[in-house]
Structure 1
Amino acid sequence: MYPPSFIRTLILSVSFASNAFGQSDISDPTKRAEFALSALQIFYNAGTGLWSTTGWWNSANILNIVANLAKVDDSPQLQSLASRIFANTLVQAPPQNPQPGVEGNHNKQRVNSNDVFVMFNSTGVGSGYTKIMDNEDELVTTGERAKTAAANVNDWLDGFYDDDLWWALGWIAAYDVTQDKEYLTLAESIFAAVATTWGTNCGKGGIYWSWQKDYVNAIANELFLSTAAHLANRANDKASYVAWAKKEIDWFTTSGMINQRFTINDGLTSDCKNNNMTTWSYNQGVILGGLVELNRASPEDSYLTLAAKIAKAAIAELSDDSGILHDKCGPYCGADGSQFKGIFVRNLQLLHDVAPDDAYVEFIQTNANSVWTNNRDDGNMLSLDWAGPFINPANASTHSSAMEALIAAITVE
């Protein structure tokens, strides 16, 4: 067994950006993003395969962020680092799942590596549940056990379908960079497991937020759309994934979650009406990527038209007078809300790639420049408020989210 210090050295040994402390005049978008990745890796715990200071689903999302930078920055050192991160996380992360295979273990939570379970006390829809992971420094005991854990789809499922699908999208992104079929197969397996839950009390369509089947919300269904559409453009069974994506978007657009302003509220009431809860930025974003991928797989003008309406409505509703993106939870959003803004910008970039719009360019560049100039400390850490000032301390969630604006800016130079 390799000691944690050896693994950490292996993961962090690649340096692709020289010291930039205090250098606010760096204008090259790629260099900015590279400095941000160097800072992000301070949070990476090679022993757990996750980014410390944030949660299970956030680390899945950060996989996507690392992959997106690797897609637009062909530095050999960065490509090597990204591949190492993917491979390490595949092996080390499964034991950190807070509720592995909870659907088959009823109301229980695993408390140790010997699969001892205790009753899990959910905190409910209103407050969510604890996603923050302990900063553990343990390695899987044997290589064979690690491979088995990574191959077992139940080890990536925690009973919250949005979490499951964040991991699916993260592994799809890893596949895009490496072309390693193991990542794509894992993503397909995760999607297949979630697809078995299809059908809610709201028109017998869509998926619930969790295994408890007590809430139908936007993010889980948008992620279902996006994952199906991404797989349609990569996996062998294209027709099946296109059918799933179309089934989801047809249900979603009639569900009532898209309001009259073309922004998307958090979810539905128990009687299947729009609950008028917060229009979180990530709910305006994930659907954009899903529609872009679905249009790529099965072109239809209405997909990009809808995406543009949602994108522009979100920019208008969630930006301040200076054009900087905010969520309504600021200045303190917790580990979940602090992740949301970057997800919107990432998916807006995907929309711009296929349907260019000067409004998107201006928005991305304005936010990226503000992040770098107003929301960065001397160690290149990025905090919550993209308009500034820097709110101490930054963490892996605030930093990786803001980093997404820097990556998007590379593509719209």
Structure 2
Amino acid sequence: MHPSSFIPTLILSISIASNVFAQSDITDPTKRAEFALSSLQIWYNAGTGLWSTTGWWNAANIQAMVGNFAKVDDNPQLQSLYDCGHPLIDSANLNRASRIFANTLVQAPPQNPQPGVEGNHNKKRENSNDTFVMFNSTVMGTGYNKLLDNEDELVTVYPEDWNKPTGQYVDVTQLPIYNIADKAQVAAADVNDWLDGFYDDDLWWALAWIAAYDVTHDKDYLTLAESIFAAVASTWGTNCGNGGIYWSWQKDYVNAIANELFLSTAAHLANRADAKATYVAWAKKEIDWFTDSGMINERGTINDGLTSDCNNNNRTTWSYNQGVILGGLVELNRASPDSSYLPLAAKIAKAAISELSDDSGILHDKCGPYCGADGSQFKGVFARNLQMLHDVAPDDVYVHFIQTNANSVWENDRDEGNMLSIDWAGPFVNPANASTHSSAMDALVAAITVK
């Protein structure tokens, strides 16, 4: 077994000639993101449906970023068609996103490191003390686990042979464009393919499939997201006031990220699915429990989780914990307006910007600039969700932050192949990988909407 921080950072040796004209004097946010997306796809292996050099849950975030980019394409004519619900627009960005969604849905399930383990039938009693060990459907130990290291950084441990490239590399642009005639492959999706026993992972994928729905308007993607949410919702209730959800099936940690993702997924579904009232109720139940849990500290930022006796554990205020809740509150306020939701989001966002930015206004996490393949994803999550907050509650603080970080990524954190690395302030830390690159792309995409 190996932790994700040791995943090889080999870059697939295909031509990046399309990027040779990318220069630091490009100021148009969309052009920057387009160059970066071209570079990102060097890591996408259409044969596995994932991005080489990074992990399972990271791939869900990358898909969400790709979907977000497709949605905010600044061509007014294309955006008008998108707003009218056109499922396929003749745009390179939208067509590429559509191919990625359809291909990942079909190819990625075998890469799930621990599929469908939420059910008791996939747990085997280890001893007479009712200790359970996780098994997959083949009743073989998977070796998949998530933990916090001595510095509070998330480390994901994968089975030894997880996601090793097999067969010939396939460029996603060579795949057929997904269209309604291929609907059967979406409708046949099995929710267990996207569950792995860690509820944050599950919900990252739910949000990724919501992003696919937002671009394609294919309701089968939305149905898959609903099924994932239902599986996680069935675990509701912790030792902390009998509310919230645990981090995983092991029920040994109540943390911020899993509960924020539960809020965000429920709120997103409330604005898209038929059972609006049900999802609004879940989102309100979560935010009420979360704000009472103590995870939001006196500074307005959010610590990693709770102690075993349900107090704030004062662990690191990671950027993604400050981000996911913003999108959740935005979507909940859209579904069921409340005068408290957007002010709470603004308080958290501004506290995070103040606490986690350097003197130049550049976002950093505690682990930087040498975060593993988990921590390297975090900053982009904040940028993506801050963009959502700015869309509904514009603020010059958000504009300055997004533009400052996007400009620094492009000018200081990019190599000659338009690969983006971990330290947004620069200099470029070699090598970049799909996690560092896609996270930095979230900042570039956010800048499209605030120019």
Q: TM-score surpassing 0.5?
A: yes
**2:313 corresponds to which residue?**
275
Checking the alignment, whether the CA contact within 8 Å between 1:35 and 1:380 is kept in structure 2 is yes
Q: Could you say which residue in structure 2 is the equivalent of 1:117? A: 139
> 2:380 pairs with 321, 324, 342, which one?
342
Q: Is the 8 A contact 1:94 1:150 kept in 2?
A: no
Q: Which amino acid aligns with 1:341?
A: K
Shift in Å at residue 125 of structure 1? Answer: 3.4
Once the two structures are TM-superposed, the CA of residue 124 in structure 1 deviates from its matched residue by 5.9
Query: In the aligned structure 2, how far is the partner of 1:196 from the partner of 1:272?
Result: 21
Where do 1:213-292 residues align within 5 Å?
213-292=251-330
* Contact kept in structure 2, 1:91 and 1:149, CA below 8 Å: no
Letter of the 1:293 counterpart:
E
Cα distance, 1:126 vs structure 2: 2.6
Q: How far did residue 18 of structure 1 move? A: 4.5
Q: For the structure 1 residues 20 and 30, does the alpha-carbon distance in structure 2 shift closer, same or farther, using more than 3 Å as the test?
A: farther
Give the CA deviation at 1:50: 0.5
* Matches of 1:297 and 1:30, distance apart in 2: 30
Aligned partner of 1:37 in structure 2 is 37
Alignment partner of 1:81 out of 87, 96, 100? 96
CA RMSD of aligned residues (A): 2.2
Matched residue type, 1:252:
F
1:126 maps to 148
CA distance in 1, matches of 2:250, 2:219: 32
- 1:411 corresponding residue in structure 2: 449
The DSSP-based 3-state class of the residue aligned with 1:211 is coil
Which of 390, 396, 400 is equivalent to 2:434?
Answer: 396
In 2, the alpha carbon distance for the partners of 1:131 and 1:330 equals 22
Q: Counterpart of 1:129 in 2: which secondary structure?
A: strand
Structure 2 counterparts to residues 349-360 of structure 1, below 5 A? 349-360=387-398
Q: Retained in 2: the 8 A contact 1:98–1:109?
A: no
Q: Say if 1:33 and 1:403, in contact at 8 Å, map to a contact too.
A: yes
* Number of the residue aligned with 1:8: none
**Partner residue, 1:137:** 166
- Structure 2: which amino acid aligns with 1:130? V
Count of matched residue positions in the alignment of Structure 1 and Structure 2: 391
Per-residue deviation, residues 212-267 of structure 1 (Å, max 9, x unmatched): 00000000000000000000000000000000000000000000000000000000
Gaps of 5+ in 1: 1-14
Instruction: Tell me which amino acid in the other structure corresponds to 2:313.
Output: N
1:161 matched to 2:176: no
8 Å CA contact 2:63, 2:208 repeated in 1: yes
* Percent identity over paired residues: 79
Instruction: For 2:93, give the aligned amino acid.
Output: L
- Other structure's SS at 2:92 match: helix
Q: Which amino acid aligns with 1:69?
A: F
Structure 1-normalised TM-score?
0.91
1:19 aligned partner, one-letter code: N
Q: Which residue identity is paired with 2:293? A: S
Alignment of 1:357-368 (within 5 A): 357-368=395-406
Residue 147 of structure 1, CA deviation: 4.3
Within the alignment, does 1:369 sit opposite 2:384 as a pair?
no
CA distance in 2, matches of 1:99, 1:30: 37
SS at match of 2:373: helix
Q: Provide closer, same or farther for how the CA distance between residues 122 and 178 of structure 1 changes in structure 2, counting only shifts above 3 A.
A: closer
How much has 1:20 moved relative to structure 2? 4.0
Measure how far apart 1:119 and its partner are. Answer: 2.5
Give the corresponding residue for 2:174: none
Structure 1 position 174 matched with structure 2 position 212: yes
Is 1:385 equivalent to 2:415 in the alignment? no
When structure 1 is superposed on structure 2, of 367-376 and 125-134 the one drifting more is 125-134
The answer to which of 346-355 and 120-129 deviates more is 120-129
| Structure with the higher fraction of residues in helix conformation | 1
Alignment CA distance shift 1:184-1:31 (3 Å): same
Alpha-carbon contact 1:30-1:410 (below 8 Å) kept = yes
1:267 corresponds to which letter in structure 2?
A: G
Q: Is the 8 A contact 2:237 2:243 kept in 1?
A: yes
**DSSP-derived class of the 2:140 partner:** strand
Larger RCO, structures 1/2 (Cα 8 Å, 6+ apart): 2
Alignment correspondent of 1:4: none
Asked if 2 retains the 8 angstrom alpha-carbon contact of 1:94 and 1:149, the reply is: no
- Aligned mate of 2:134, from 108, 119, 123: 108
| Cα distance in 2 for residues equivalent to 1:308 and 1:126 | 28
Q: 1:26 to 1:122 in 2, by over 3 A?
A: closer
**Once the two structures are superposed, what CA deviation does each residue of 1:153-189 show, in whole Å capped at 9, x if it has no partner?**
1111000000000000000001000001110000000
Note if contact 1:232-1:238 (Cα within 8 Å) is conserved in structure 2: yes
AA at the equivalent of 1:54 = T
Worse-matched range after superposition: 68-77 or 47-56: 68-77
The AA in structure 2 aligned to 1:205 is G
What's the CA shift for 1:21? 4.7
Q: What is aligned with 1:93?
A: 108
Distance (whole Å) between structure 2 residues aligned to residue 45 and residue 184 of structure 1: 24
Q: Any idea what SS the aligned residue of 2:340 has? A: helix
**SS of 1:274 mapped into structure 2:** coil
Matched to 2:257, the amino acid is I
SS at match of 2:269: helix
Paired residue secondary structure (1:313): helix
Q: Distance in 2 between matches of 1:160 and 1:231?
A: 20
Is the contact made by 2:257 and 2:321 (CA closer than 8 Å) also made in structure 1?
yes
Tell me: CA distance 1:314–1:253, structure 2 relative to 1, closer, same or farther (3 Å): same
